[in-house]
Amino acid sequence: MDRRRSSVRSIKGDFKRGNWANKTEFLLSCMGYAIGIGNVWRFPYLCYRNGGGAFLVPYLLMLFLCGVPLFFMETTLGQFAGTGCITMFKIAPLFKGAGYAIVAVNIICTTYYNVIIAYPLLFLANCFRWKLPWIDCENSWNTDNCLPLSGRDTTRIYTNSTILDLNNNFTSERRTKTPADEFFHNRILNISESIEDVGSIVWPLFFCDVVAWVVVYLCIMNGVKSVGKVVYFTATFPFVILFVLLIRGITLPGAWDGIFFYIYPQWHQLTNLKVWADAAVQIFFSLGPGWGGIVNMASYNEFRNNNKGDSILVPILNCGTSIFAGFVVFSVLGFMSYKTGLPVSTVATGGPGLAFVTYPEAITMLPWPHVWAVLFFIMLFLLGLDSCFVQIEAIISSVIDEYPFLMKRKQLVAFASCFIMFLGSILFVTNGGMYLLQLFDWYAASISVILICLVEVFIVGWTYGTDNFVRDLEFMTQEKVHWWWPLCWKFVTPIILTFIFMTSIAFNTTITYHGFLYPDWSIVLGWSSCAASMLCIPLYMGYKLLYFEEGDFVE
């Protein structure tokens, strides 16, 4: 242990990686990384769909059985090693390929994730018009199927194929869309008919993508020094906006009906396996283990920092934000239900549909809609921004730690990384870009990351060993480690991760977007994007076994 500790610490001293200026910067960076767009567009819908308040039972159980132990484990790995996600695997050199897998996953996923934060920018640019362009059907991008949400006196229910008028019975048999739906798909995305028609570049979205990449580069160009200052704004201002939106939301008529719909417990749902699977998956992907971001941020801590408190606080704040965001979302959806006469269950959606269709549609019904639209899309941009630049910083730091001669050219490495990923992101700002984005997000960003985390807990629990890991942790923090943590790292968390992995495959057998069912060749492409990162692990193992040296299994 002493030999490894001295060699690891020398990396920080020799190459001047630097540290956070204070603990607040680390905590804000972790909060900004963990609290992202998914807290707003995914959790509220999952909660309502899976039993309302009853969903909090499996959700909080998964938080403390899997989320917090994983977060604690990764902050310990990063802080003790003082290096990024490649070099940290010196505790089990045979598995160093997992570090390269993390970098590969980040490169693939950040390439398209930055396009997601370009969407709010393009919405923002359209907010400064006299009339919000998604308020009616009188625009060049609207089709004959566009139909605004009606008032309470002529209530209509919209389905994928029909319009039903509650006053006049059946009126037509055609596919209808709201103005916000057509604005997002026909104007923002200018979407094609299928993934087989990639089409050309959507130039307004392309320019917003450029702006997003420039902002990301400016945030990370000086590494931890610039990131530590930027997060004071990017990690806190979204909370201010969420609070303002909540105050506005709960004062609207119908708001409390929406909130009641959100939190009303349906206890019978707890017998449904999928509810538990959704809770586990949401905790896992919300906190962001397995991406290298947590490890990298912790690597800039002071060696004696007590990371246990940090590792409990950040996940709790993350979950609290998700629950809080649900009140913000469903208060406005309740108002939307009141205005249209539609049931809350009809207007409630999740994912991009909530952020870029349903919520913007609801905003048009508010007084001063431009103000609320600007605040909402600024919030979405900031939520996505700090998650994005933390992941890119993880890539850069990991590469530089592995190849220290690049330290003197860190700004150039940061620019080259951003530029290369920007070139890759162009594919996702084409007419068929959203189909590709959904495909890569489905495969490259899910199964790969779960397997990486399984490798991490296997190393800590069974290869390096929890006894050694706990000894290192106690030496670092100068505190005794409770028996609960090694129990989780060795047994509980690996079992839950295996459950997440199996249910992710079992419950996600088909992929669709906008009514389009993906063809077989695209599924092969999706699995290839997953394999591109995962192959790093067995390939590196093969290399190490072929050129075996003493200490290649565990140092």
What is the CA 90 to chain-centroid distance, rounded? 28
Residue 150 has pLDDT above 90, yes or no: no
**DSSP result, 96-131:** THHHHHHHHHHHHHHHHHHHHHHHHHHHHHHHSSSS
Q: Going along 57-215, which residue ranges are E strands?
A: 156-158, 163-165, 169-172
Residue 159 has pLDDT above 50, yes or no: no
Give every CB contact of residue 169 below 8 A, 6+ residues apart in sequence.
Answer: none
Question: What is the rounded average pLDDT of the residues 141-153?
Answer: 75
523 φ/ψ angles, rounded to the nearest 5 degrees: -65, -40
The highest-confidence range among 148-157, 335-344, 488-497, by mean pLDDT, is 488-497
Q: What percent of the chain has pLDDT over 90?
A: 78
Coil, strand or helix at 177: strand
The reply, when asked if residue 98 is annotated as ligand binding, is no
What are the residues facing 156 on neighbouring strands?
165
Q: Count H helices, E strands: the chain?
A: 27, 5
- What is the structure's pLDDT at 400? 95
Tell me the pLDDT tens digit for each residue of 439-469.
999 888 888 999 999 999 999 999 999 999 9
Question: What is the rounded average pLDDT of the residues 470-476?
Answer: 97
Residue 1 has pLDDT above 60, yes or no: no
- What is the structure's pLDDT at 175? 64
| Residue 139 CB neighbour total at 10 angstroms | 16
Ranges of each domain in the chain: 2-143+186-546
Cα separation values, 530 from 154, 439, 449, Å: 49, 11, 9
- The dihedral over CA atoms of 411, 412, 413, 418, expressed in degrees to the nearest 10, equals 90
| Residue 422 CB neighbour total at 10 angstroms | 18
- The dihedral over CA atoms of 428, 158, 336, 370, expressed in degrees to the nearest 10, equals 40
Helix 255-263 × helix 307-340 angle, to 10°? 130
- What is the structure's pLDDT at 155? 42
The reply, when asked if residue 383 is annotated as ligand binding, is yes
Please give the Cα distance from 356 to 37 (Å, whole number): 12
Please give the Cα distance from 103 to 92 (Å, whole number): 18
Question: What is the rounded average pLDDT of the residues 479-494?
Answer: 97
- What is the structure's pLDDT at 172? 41
- What is the structure's pLDDT at 504? 84
Please give the Cα distance from 71 to 311 (Å, whole number): 6
Tell which CATH classification among 1.10.1740.10, 1.20.1740.10, 3.40.50.720, 1.10.3720.10 matches the domain 2-143+186-546.
Answer: 1.20.1740.10
The reply, when asked if residue 167 is annotated as ligand binding, is no
The reply, when asked if residue 34 is annotated as ligand binding, is yes
What are the residues facing 177 on neighbouring strands?
146
- What is the structure's pLDDT at 555? 54
The reply, when asked if residue 386 is annotated as ligand binding, is yes
Banded pLDDT at 160 (limits 50, 70, 90): very low
Banded pLDDT at 8 (limits 50, 70, 90): very low
The reply, when asked if residue 53 is annotated as ligand binding, is no
The reply, when asked if residue 387 is annotated as ligand binding, is yes
